[in-house]
Structure formats: structure tokens, C-alpha cells
Amino acid sequence: MRTCILSYDSRIIEGWSYGMPSYKIKKNIFYFNVYQRHIGLYPHHQAIEMFKDELRDYKTSRCAIQIPLDIEIPFVLIKKILAYNIKNES
């Protein structure tokens, strides 16, 4: 996950916020954490709304996406979300 995020844009800086890895350029654009049964992705809520059709196979809430540990991580979708958050960072 880290490699996917950090290699997406050379301006992305890794940090630690809310007890989990965070990624920012000027402001935080993405967080994630690994749990017992899933990976929690925490992009901005606007990104979840924007990609709701592509996220229909995953459990989501207003601000979170759950990717079960027993399926392939959707790196292409994660990169789309990163692109959206970077474009709309303000």
C-alpha cells in the first residue's frame, strides 16, 4: 500500500496522523490502516461519493472504505482516488 501511494506522485509525503499512516502534499489526502479482517482506507468523503459506483463491492461509510484481507487490493482504484484527492486538495 505504501509503495502504491508514495510512487504515485513524488510530492507525496508520508506522516502519521490519527494513529495511522497519512499521506499529504500540502494537506492530508489519504490515510490507511490494517485491521484484523480488512484494510481501512480513509480518503476524503468527496472521493467516496465520486467513486461510489466503483466502490459498490466494498463496505463503505461516509469517510471510510473497507477492503477485506482475503481479496486483491484494488490498486488501480486507489490510484484514481489519489488522483482525485490531489486534484481537489485545498
- Distance (Å, rounded) from C-alpha 4 to C-alpha 76? 9
pLDDT at 86 over 60: yes
Domain locations in the chain? 2-87
CATH of 2-87 among 3.40.50.720, 3.30.300.130, 3.90.1150.200, 3.90.180.10: 3.90.1150.200
Total number of residues shown for the chain = 90
Residue 90: the pLDDT is 55
- Distance (Å, rounded) from C-alpha 48 to C-alpha 51? 5
As a whole number of Å, the CA-based R_g of the chain is: 12
23-43 pLDDT per residue, tens: 999 999 999 999 999 999 999
**Model pTM?**
0.91
Q: How confident is the model at residue 89 (pLDDT cuts 50, 70, 90)?
A: confident
- Distance (Å, rounded) from C-alpha 85 to C-alpha 27? 10
Over residues 71-81, the mean pLDDT reads 97
Q: From edge to edge, which strands make up the β-sheet containing 38-42?
A: 13-17, 20-24, 28-34, 38-42, 65-68, 59-60
35-75 pLDDT per residue, tens: 999 999 999 999 999 999 999 999 999 999 999 999 999 99
